[in-house]
Amino acid sequence: MAPQHVDVVIVGAGLSGIGAACLLQQHSPRKTFAILEAREAIGGTWDLFTYPGVRSDSDMFTLGYSFRPWTASRAIADGPVIRDYIRDTAREYGVDASIRFGHRVVSADWDGDTARWTVTASTGDGSTATFTCSWLSVCSGYYRYDAGYQPVFPGQDRFAGTLVHPQQWPEDLDWAGKRVIVIGSGATAVTLVPNLAERAAHVTMLQRTPSYILSLPRTDKLAQRLQRTLSPRLAYVLVASVIGLGLFASATPSPLYQTYRELWGFSPVVLTLIYATYAFGVLTALLLASASGTHSSAPCAPSRRRSPTSTARR
């Protein structure tokens, strides 16, 4: 079959691929595009992972889309809620119609003479589909989808229990009353342990390197208050900026950081709060100044679908 030409091919219909398609449609409404997705579902990570308690580790105000701000009350959101957010975004912006499900990209060749990519995808029925495009955007994630990494443990063949990888969590797995060991101390283990403990007889976390955990509420009171008083878009800008600047400041050995540290021995957490408060003040002042200036602040409601014409003006 002759290759199909589109201006842009996006690989993957996860958080990134759907976001890229929506932005492309908003900013370049005349460009044609196709999203090639290996699986049969939208959502990538948030559709694939189904282990008990699966949720985001970072707050959704920074992980979510700037053009469709997160408005749910929980800043640390459950996996299915994030999956629905991605699906709803795709539907609302109409990019779901451009997804070719069951298309696993297997090669991409650049031709300098025609300045085009030739992208080949294998389809479920054993055949291939070919696309040409001027721009290739690879939003395929960072891990193997067909199998999570599982090291071979010596003596594993003698283990009589059940061995489970969270990437392929069996739907019917029953751990009630069982003694469970969770190997690892990363975000997945931290999520799994309390959820398994609700029904298991005993849960042990086996860790090589300890991780450090700061216990915070899942709801962000500041964000909720801002959302009530400001529009979701303005609240998003403020909250995302405060969190982003705070994290950046706490991780950056800036002179201010060093001074605080040396003078008062502040911990990074306290410093984050100081920077965040400072950033919040500056941003609020800037926003108030701009609101009283040239434009009236009436950002779009997140649920409103924008026509290409109106979004192109943004």
Ligand X SMILES: Cc1cc2nc3c(=O)[nH]c(=O)nc-3n(C[C@H](O)[C@H](O)[C@H](O)COP(=O)(O)OP(=O)(O)OC[C@H]3O[C@@H](n4cnc5c(N)ncnc54)[C@H](O)[C@@H]3O)c2cc1C
**What residue ranges bind ligand X (CB under 6 A)?**
11-17, 36-39, 44-45, 49, 54, 56-58, 63, 104-105, 139-141, 145, 188
| Pick from 307, 13, 1: nearest CA to 137 | 13
Minimum separation from the CB atom of position 141 to ligand X (A): 2
| Strands 33-36 and 179-183, sheet pairing | unpaired
Nearer to ligand X, 17 or 302 (CB): 17
Nearer to ligand X, 63 or 283 (CB): 63
How far apart, in Å, do the first and last CA atoms of the chain sit? 39
Minimum separation from the CB atom of position 310 to ligand X (A): 26
Minimum separation from the CB atom of position 126 to ligand X (A): 16
Minimum separation from the CB atom of position 309 to ligand X (A): 28
* CA gap 98, 170 in Å, rounded: 31
Nearer to ligand X, 113 or 125 (CB): 125
Nearer to ligand X, 103 or 234 (CB): 103
Nearer to ligand X, 151 or 177 (CB): 151
Encoding tokens for residue 110? Answer: 């650049």
* CA gap 314, 306 in Å, rounded: 11
* CA gap 106, 54 in Å, rounded: 30
Q: Find the largest Cα–Cα distance for the chain.
A: 73
Contact 283, 238 (CB under 8 A): yes
* CA gap 228, 223 in Å, rounded: 9
Where are the strands (E) in the chain, listed by range?
4-5, 8-11, 33-36, 99-100, 103-111, 116-123, 128-133, 135-138, 179-183, 202-206
Nearer to ligand X, 145 or 280 (CB): 145
The one-letter amino acid at 105? V
Minimum separation from the CB atom of position 221 to ligand X (A): 20
Nearer to ligand X, 25 or 45 (CB): 45
Minimum separation from the CB atom of position 166 to ligand X (A): 7
The Cα angle at residue 258 between residues 253 and 259, in degrees rounded to 5: 150
* CA gap 204, 207 in Å, rounded: 9
Minimum separation from the CB atom of position 76 to ligand X (A): 8
Minimum separation from the CB atom of position 204 to ligand X (A): 21
Nearer to ligand X, 78 or 274 (CB): 78
